[in-house]
Amino acid sequence: MNIPDMRRPEALWAHMRHTLAFYAPRVKDETGGCFQFFKDDGTVYDRRTRHLVSSTRFVFNHALAWRWFGGPVGDVAHALAFVNQAHAQPQGGYAWVLDWQDGRATVLDGTNHCYGLAFVLLANSHAAQAGVAGAKEGIAATFALMEQRFWEPAHGLYADEATPDWQVGPYRGQNANMHACEAMLAAHAATGEPRYLDRALTLATSITQRQALQAGGLVWEHYNTDWTPDWDYNRDDKTNIFRPWGFQTGHLTEWAKLLLMLERCLGDAAPGWLVTTARHFFDTAMKHGWDEVHGGLVYGFAPDGEVCDGDKYFWVQAESLAAAAWLAVRTGDDTYWQWYDRLWAYAWQHFVDHEHGAWYRILAPDNRKVTDEKSPAGKTDYHTMGACQDVLAALGVQPPAQETT
């Protein structure tokens, strides 16, 4: 199978367009928000369930379409309005899962997740760059809410979840903090306010330096209330996609990418460990995560380095190729370009749906398809199109100037 030269901006733009074309004709629900459950051919198989993660990520998708291709700003505003009007709750939080019918929302799961708030912050940040009314205010309000309800200054990290009336639970996790770091970088890009960049650095330092020292220099996922590692959390449960057990190949590479983005933003003030840690995370992920038999990166590996989940997930490949590009540009080490090309070749052959568009979500260890559900709740191809955008950023390619409303 011939693959374009994915180091060329034109190839990355074409792939983003190809993915957007899968969602564009069918994603918008005129009664509010976006549909969130798609079969391989684009058939919507659940028109009512709305997950906060998908609702916010579709804001990102529409903002990406606006930024690079002049897509309608109205679509960005439409997606953000659903977050603010349907998911937002009277107690000040955002419902995790809704049932949406006839223009009315019924809360199915009202749990407040810091992970969800991180994506509310990300959504407002990208909407603000598109000039959507109220989005800049949304950035400040979401940051304040995270500060009030989840921030633990003694640890320099966010707690993870709370009941609808804001009783914070005992679980602590790195995933919410990683995406909070991503969102802080986006908030800084949208506003220029130093506090968001400062918070991104604090989060990165806490997870990838202090916490990593408790886990052999890598990022463990789960922690007790005092931020000591919980080595057994979800050990025997593969169903929780937001809290998987083991070292996550894709989270190591995602952190590598974020550390290099943070370094670029900080400029001369950047600490030297950002690059060395990024290299260590990526190199370790490739060492333990690459499947030498079938290709591709596995989902997770155990503390002893053995694979604990050999399934192949779309986002792991996407985040890793973006990290490879950032490392290649930053270090000048051609090894990272070789990884970039290898990851794209694998994804192009096995994950990209060349007929209908977008990427398949999950494959078996031997790359067999295991489901015809391409994009259930949580998957909007934010990771895949975001990876293309991140590679363009690594290369220094700027989007064309677009008019804001």
Q: Is 383 a catalytic residue?
A: yes
Full DSSP string of 342-374: HHHHHHHHHTB-TTT-SB-SEE-TTS-B--SEE
Contact by Cβ (8 Å): 307, 301: yes
Strand 362-363 and strand 312-313: pairing?
A: antiparallel
Given 15, 251, 288, 350, which residue is catalytic? 251
| Residue 139, CA distances (Å) to 143, 152, 176 in order | 6, 20, 17
Place of tokens 């038999």: 293
Backbone angles phi, psi at 38, to 5 degrees: -125, 135
Beta bridge partners of 223: 172, 229
Buried-exposed string 150-162: b where 16+ CB fall within 10 A, e elsewhere = bbeeebbbbbbbb
CB 234 within 8 A of CB 173: no
Residue-level length of the chain: 405
Report the candidate in 326, 347, 349 with the shortest Cα–Cα distance to residue 258.
326
Does 251 participate in catalysis according to the annotation?
yes
Q: Which of 314, 370, 217 is nearest to 22 (CA)?
A: 314
Question: With the C-alpha atoms ordered 278, 205, 231, 152, is the resulting torsion angle positive or negative?
Answer: negative
Which residues are catalytic, by number?
251, 383
